Chains A and B, each alone.
With several copies, the nearest count.
Chain A
């Protein structure tokens, strides 16, 4: 975003308004969401979003530890966004860097908007987001996955939270930047919303946009969030369907023969 190292910048949008991967300006990368992919976690989800691969797990509400972090009036939300060492082209040293700490903080704040935290005093809702493969947009993929994982865990929630970024490349507003577009583009604007109320619960930006560009991008991102919302609900339905099928099978076959 900072405009440095631009000498090798490729053309990001061609004369037909197509992007380097053939997408139109307002087109999302392919997104696949699967709910309930882990056994130990109380809830989980896996999201493939273009070349991003993100796993989210949720534990809780469970007793917050150590005790001094407990809130007697409500549950706290603790979020940990983490990148696997092999998720990026140059190996990332394990452990949180400053970027991860910031994303963890704002992601946790996103979910405070939809969770009924007063129902669980002294508890913690723990959200773990693991980026297994990264290609720009991992914080949005993480929030999208974490929403599904929270629902999969059965934690009372006002709504799912989809997230998506819009940005600016070659002077044009475009949806859902991939890595090269993010590196050589002019702005990136990640957004998360509560679909039922259209409230914006995540909003960040870096780059350079006029006020009208900003508003165009914001609306484009919000529209995309609504599409992702449908994919989230679909994933939860599939999980539920799958469970019913397994239950039916289980009635017919004794457990040890399943393997």
Chain B
């Protein structure tokens, strides 16, 4: 029995469940799998966090180093986000430079952090045009069971909230916490046939028609959006996704704050 037939059977089964408002692991459509956030897990990093959403697990390490600013923003620190879909995490990941999945992941996380103005980069200038703090957010996927975007984003945010700028090692006074502005949260919704559900597990992700990720800030405003996969939404469905993301982002923000 070929893989395609299996996935066809799985597709129908999940569609039927979704139509009834439920899911293969018993969750409701607007329910996340269990979330665990561990901060400061890597002492060689200036900030770090390991986040699991169900069986999906992502480790993010933040390194902070001195470097040159971009010529067009001489007074502003630099944020660099990189994702490695290392083959340890999934039989489908391959060694080598980031492919388009890894690049999209890094860019969607980066967009949420950047557009949500999470880091106050203006405060990271040391000598205008010459030296600024560079923040490297490195996303290391450890176990891939769906919804990498939310897990990677949440881990990045958690790591940033416990990051300290290593000023003392440079003879520049005491270390200080990374200056942060706000905590926009990214939530991902997929559509399976006509049902919309948050936090897709791998099986759901595989057969989803279309995906929408939104970064929502504390005021319920939208900071970033990314539609993915080869499907479509109606305007009405987009409105529905916004509502779902607004509700879930509040919950996730509380989990992050209490972690």
Contacts and interface: CB of A to CB of B under 8 A. Distances in A.
A84 interface: yes
Interface of A: 1-5, 38-41, 51, 53, 55-57, 59, 62, 73, 80, 82, 84-91, 94-95, 98-99, 101-102, 104-106, 109, 112-113, 126, 128, 130, 132-135, 189, 194, 197-211, 214-215, 218-219, 222, 255-257, 259
Which bracket fits the contact residues of B?
Answer: 35 or more
A102 B110 CA distance: 13
Contacts of A194: 232
Residue from the set A197, A200, A202 with the largest chain B CB neighbour count within 10 Å = A200
Nearest to B219: A210
4 shortest A-B CB distances, which residue pairs? Answer: A86-B61, A256-B26, A112-B230, A205-B225
Given A4-B73, A40-B90, A40-B144, A86 B222 contact: no
A218 B236 CA distance: 11
A82 B88 CA distance: 10
Contact of B115 (A2, A38, A104, A134): A2
Contacts of A95: 97
13 contacts: A38-B88, A91-B136, A94-B84, A101-B104, A113-B230, A130-B140, A200-B227, A201-B231, A203-B212, A206-B114, A207-B224, A210-B219, A255-B26
Contacts of B27: 256
A83 B228 CA distance: 22
Contacts of B199: none
B97 A214 contact: no
Contacts, number: 198
Contacts of B222: 205, 208-211, 214
B214 to A, nearest CB: 8
Interface stretch (B37-45, B149-157, B170-178, B248-256): B37-45
Given A39-B145, A132-B42, A199-B232, A85 B61 contact: yes
Contacts of A3: 117
B199 to A, nearest CB: 12
A194 B57 CA distance: 33
Contacts of A82: 86
A98 B108 CA distance: 11
Contact of A126 (B87, B111, B220): B87
B33 A2 contact: no
Contacts of B145: 39-40
Interface in B139-185: 140, 142-145
B16 interface: no
Specify the main secondary structure of chain A where it touches its partner.
mixed
Contacts of A98: 98, 103, 106-107
Contacts of B229: 109
B252 to A, nearest CB: 16
Contacts of A109: 228-230
Given A199-B234, A210-B220, A86 B73 contact: no
B247 to A, nearest CB: 12
Nearest to A130: B88
Contacts of A128: 86-88
Given A98-B107, A133-B44, A203 B143 contact: no
B88 A198 contact: no
Interface string B112-135: 001101000110000000000000
B194 interface: no
A101 B121 contact: no
A254 to B, nearest CB: 8
A98 B110 CA distance: 12
Contact of B231 (A56, A62, A73, A113): A113
Contacts of A210: 219-222
Given A4-B122, A105-B104, A59 B233 contact: no
